[in-house]
Amino acid sequence: MELKKDSNAVSIDMLLIVHSEKRRAAHGTHSDRQADPGALPQRRGGLQGVGNGIRRWQKFEGNDVHGNLAEKQHPQQTQVITSYDNQGTQLTVEVHPRDAMPQLLKKFSLAKRLQGDKNGNTRPRQPGAKDAHVYPWDRSSLKSMPLDLQEFEKLDTYASQVTVKSGLDELVSDLLQEAHSDLERVRVIWIWICHHIEYDIEAAQEKDRQAFKPTDILRTQKTNCDGYAGLFEKMCRIAGVQCMTVPGYSKGFGYQTGQSFSGEFDHAWNAVYLEGRWHLLDSTWGSGLVDSATSKFTFLYNEFYFLTHPALFIEDHFPDNKNWQLLKPPQSLKQFENNMYHKSEFYNKGMLSAHPETSVIKTVNGKATVTVESCAPTLFMFMLNGKQEHGLLSLRKNGMKLDIYPPTVGTHKLQIFAKGKSDIYSSVLEYTLKCNYVDIGVRLPAELHQPVGPSWFSEQMGIMKPSHPDPIIHTSDGRCSVSFSVEEGISVLASLHGDEGPITEETQRRYIFQTQREKRAELKVQLPQAGKFALKIFVKKRLEPGNYVFVFNYLLCCTNTKVNWPMFPESFGNWGQDNELLEPLSGVLPANRNVPFKLKLHGIAKALVKGQDTWPLTLNQEGYWEGSCNTAGCQEVYVMVLENANHNFYSYILKYKVNAQ
């Protein structure tokens, strides 16, 4: 053996002859199945080979016309075993048939770089200090390098429409027609894979997963994460871009909050070398998602996993080699398991941070609080054990606050959803909530929806300057008055909801009496009994068809058990929102009494009160219609108006009931 040194490599001249019957020993862990020379390496329990590197079985000769290695191995042919470790070291060994005469000694090199392949690519260097990003995330960007995604629009459209004509080389060649830099080359490959390769759920769930060859992936357009990563690496190498496949653990399909990771690695992704630095991406997760209920894959492009900032990538990707975290300091597996998992939509929707920062939280005196900070006003909702109950969610200009009150002791599942710029709420956070005490006094109405209290959203919907900016209103006598400015052309509707007593859809609005003075609306509320109630606020543009839209609600609280207010009078369509009722406010009048009436009515000629008899109302100097009626001998009393003095048709505007004698 001759040892030679130079500045670039250490070379060893050697000859290793392995007899055919001992090839099983040379194959090591691959003895249970034939190694496929054209297949992409699998990622089960880490990579096989020297130093956890990549092991490839190659023929000495016999490539097909597309550069793909032939599938069949002949026992009488010379075989070459090539392996790389994590430092980029190459070890190559020839395996000869037993009776074959070896050729002259071959020179094999243990070097820090591979010899160039047919495209002139060299073995990429391992990540170092200049590749590392500071942890935790500095909020500068979701990407690991400056990108203007708008500049990719034409390129993305082109790449997504390229079709497979024959082999992998021609596909890459077609994709590169519009790519003029390494970044654009990586981009077109990424876009093509994300839009054409479907995640093969059945193959991914097989206990002994078979290797995926690029030719098979192109033919079936299906693969698992190993296949995605391997195909991406192969295409990048053909394109002349340095790329590595990185195995590791992931918080993907089937992940349970707070779970531990051990044993075989369950995922694989890629690192690409661009502009003198390593960057991370995951084409498997960029292509779509798996529905946990149906276990079906759906193409749904996710930009987040393209050149993701490493401090964000580490939240759901933990590589086998800490250097591939591209972080300083790197995170431990325990930190990976315990750290809060922000789903990609958390960042896609513009979220910046969430507290608590651990995935498992405990209640304190029956309550837990979650806050989220966002870079722009965002709509949120939550679910506790699949229901929108037992929580108070208030919107903030840049985020939200959620107070959650689990109804029972034990473990609960808390999900946070955000809407962002789209019309769809997406899951962005998931907590495991542990409760060891329930505060019975904090039972919330089942109809208390989200959000609670006025916010930037209610302003956006035309409700401004509320008299009560806080979401909770306490009343000692069971009555309150809420007012706010209303944008011109906006109609407001309110309803009251509680968990006790039979409250119908009609009576939900009869405990609220609404008036409007100029551009300010007032809601007078009387509670039927003590307890907690949801006061819901809806709006609608007057000139547009359609239903009222829910905006927000208040939580009304009253502990006075003597409270037993009646409903307000029933109002009809001709009761204008700018009318004002001073008395009587109770919708139930006493029997055999003279009852005074005082109202402000706009645009009418005459007004009267009708019971057993008819009593006219007169207009005073202050602009109020006044009068009285006697309730003797009647069960109902109506307020009626004549809008046109030239007509004799009166309209009903208010209805009162009279107590039984």
Specify the 3-state DSSP secondary structure of 247: strand
Q: Taking the CB of residue 257, how many other CB atoms lie within 10 A of it?
A: 16
- Give a three-class secondary structure readout of 622-647: CCCEEEEEECCCCCEEEEEEECCCCC
CA distance 336 to 249: 10
Beta-carbon contacts of residue 461 (< 8 Å; ≥ 6 apart) = 490, 539, 549, 551
Nearest to 305 by CA among 150, 198, 191: 191
Q: Is the dihedral of CA 360, 363, 367, 371 positive or negative?
A: negative
Judge contact between 441 and 528, C-beta under 8 A. Answer: no
Nearest to 555 by CA among 332, 374, 393, 385: 393
Respond yes or no: is residue 266 known to be catalytic.
no
CA distance readout (Å), 131 to 123, 147, 309, 317: 17, 17, 11, 17
Task: Write down the catalytic residue from 96, 196, 267, 317.
Answer: 267
DSSP string, 57-80: EEESS-B-TTSPBPS---TTS-EE
Residue 110 sits at φ, ψ, to 5 deg, of: -100, 95
Specify the 3-state DSSP secondary structure of 219: helix
Specify the 3-state DSSP secondary structure of 472: strand
Cα 347 to the chain's mean position, in Å?
8
Judge contact between 1 and 12, C-beta under 8 A. Answer: yes
Q: Are strands 360-362 and 614-619 parallel, antiparallel or unpaired?
A: unpaired
Q: Which two tokens stand for residue 17?
A: 């002859």
CA distance 100 to 77: 9
DSSP string, 76-110: TS-EEEEEE-TT--EEEEEE--TTPPP-SPPEEEE
Q: Taking the CB of residue 157, how many other CB atoms lie within 10 A of it?
A: 11
Judge contact between 638 and 610, C-beta under 8 A. Answer: yes
- How big is the chain, counted in residues? 661
Query: 253: which DSSP letter?
Result: T
**CA-based radius of gyration for the chain:** 36
Helix (H) / strand (E) element for 433: namely strand 426-435
Task: Write down the catalytic residue from 225, 243, 480, 629.
Answer: 225
Respond yes or no: is residue 435 known to be catalytic.
no
Nearest to 313 by CA among 299, 297, 327, 328: 327
Residue 561 sits at φ, ψ, to 5 deg, of: -70, -10
Judge contact between 391 and 402, C-beta under 8 A. Answer: yes
Respond yes or no: is residue 267 known to be catalytic.
yes
Work out the burial of residue 237: count CB atoms within 10 Å of its CB; fewer than 13 is exposed, 13-18 middle, 19 or more buried. Answer: middle
Task: Write down the catalytic residue from 216, 226, 282, 320.
Answer: 282
CA distance 109 to 122: 14
CB-based burial, 202-222: b 16+ in 10 Å, e otherwise: ebbeeeebebbbbbbbbeeeb
So which residues are the catalytic ones?
225, 267, 282
